[in-house]
Amino acid sequence: MSDAPKINPGDIVGWPILKLSYPTDPAKLAALLPPGITPGAESKVHLSVYCVPVPDEPEFGVLTTVDADYRGDAGQYAIAYGIDQESAIFISRDMNGQPKHPCEIHYYRIGDTVRARCTHQGYTFIEFSGQVKDELPNPPQYDENEWWVKVSRAVGGAEKAYDFPPHVVRVKSTYQTTHQQRVEGQLRLLESPWDPIAEHLPLRGEVHARLWTAAFLGREITLEGALDPEAFWPHSDTIGGSRWPGTQGGPKRG
């Protein structure tokens, strides 16, 4: 018997997350990581397109992470959280270093058809279209580390100066997968000056897609060690609230 979740008609609670992963260019992935955070065992990109209640209304979003380790612990380094709720962007970034920015998300399932499209500042940078195929087995309960960076450059913009130097933030989450389905489809990464995923994390192999539903069992957000502030300086200029590299003095800066 299927363990597919049952929800009330029209209820956003219980929507599955569209999980996409693919291999990318190892050198390009490594270039996005600040010194002190190192590439993981596999050069994979992970995209999660979702609709969840935050706190009591729907938030559509897309999360972009890459395999990365910190002090020997495996995890994923967060490049960007594109969301459609402006109220959650600045508090999350300022308090915890979560790299959020505004984004328009279209994500839905009709029958066995799944579609997603992510747009920022008029540029669509991710498109996916696929068909649900078969159910996948549920793995055991597991923990997952996600790495953010909390940092504040000095007021006035002095060169290589900080009001709060860069520190790694560990987000340790515990999940129990309750239902997942394999999806076959096409992922398109499109050129965008605001979300340059096609340039910095290009497709270099097969895309794996699934619809994932899980029980969220716990989350701990902790301030970890400091990163070398001088070595981090090139990574301090980013696009909007993301960790995509910006251009010093250029139009991409947020």
Query: What tokens were used for 207?
Result: 């895309």
If pLDDT is split at 50, 70 and 90, which confidence band does 254 have?
very low
Q: Which CATH number fits domain 17-235: 2.40.50.100, 2.60.40.10, 2.60.120.10, 2.40.400.10?
A: 2.40.400.10
Residue 252 pLDDT greater than 90, yes or no: no
Residue 27 parent element (H or E): helix 26-32
pLDDT digits (tens, 9 = 90+) for 97-128: 999 999 999 999 999 999 999 999 999 999 99
* C-beta separation of 203 from 25 below 8 A: no
Q: Using CA atoms, how far apart are residues 87 and 92, in angstroms rounded to an integer? A: 9
Residue 253 pLDDT greater than 60, yes or no: no
Residue 155 pLDDT greater than 80, yes or no: yes
144-163 average pLDDT score: 96
Task: Provide CB contacts within 8 A for 25, sequence distance 6+.
Answer: 43, 201, 202, 204
State the burial class of residue 67 (Cβ atoms within 10 Å of its Cβ: 0-12, 13-18, 19+): buried
Query: What tokens were used for 236?
Result: 């301090």
* Every domain of the chain and the residues it spans: 17-235
pLDDT of 2 reads: 61
pLDDT digits (tens, 9 = 90+) for 204-244: 999 999 999 999 999 999 999 999 999 999 999 999 999 99
Q: Using CA atoms, how far apart are residues 196 and 203, in angstroms rounded to an integer? A: 13
Q: What percent of the chain has pLDDT over 70?
A: 96
If pLDDT is split at 50, 70 and 90, which confidence band does 249 have?
very low
- Specify the higher pLDDT residue, 10 or 129: 129
DSSP, res 33 = S
Residue 1 pLDDT greater than 80, yes or no: no
33-47 average pLDDT score: 97
State how beta strands 44-53 and 162-189 pair.
unpaired
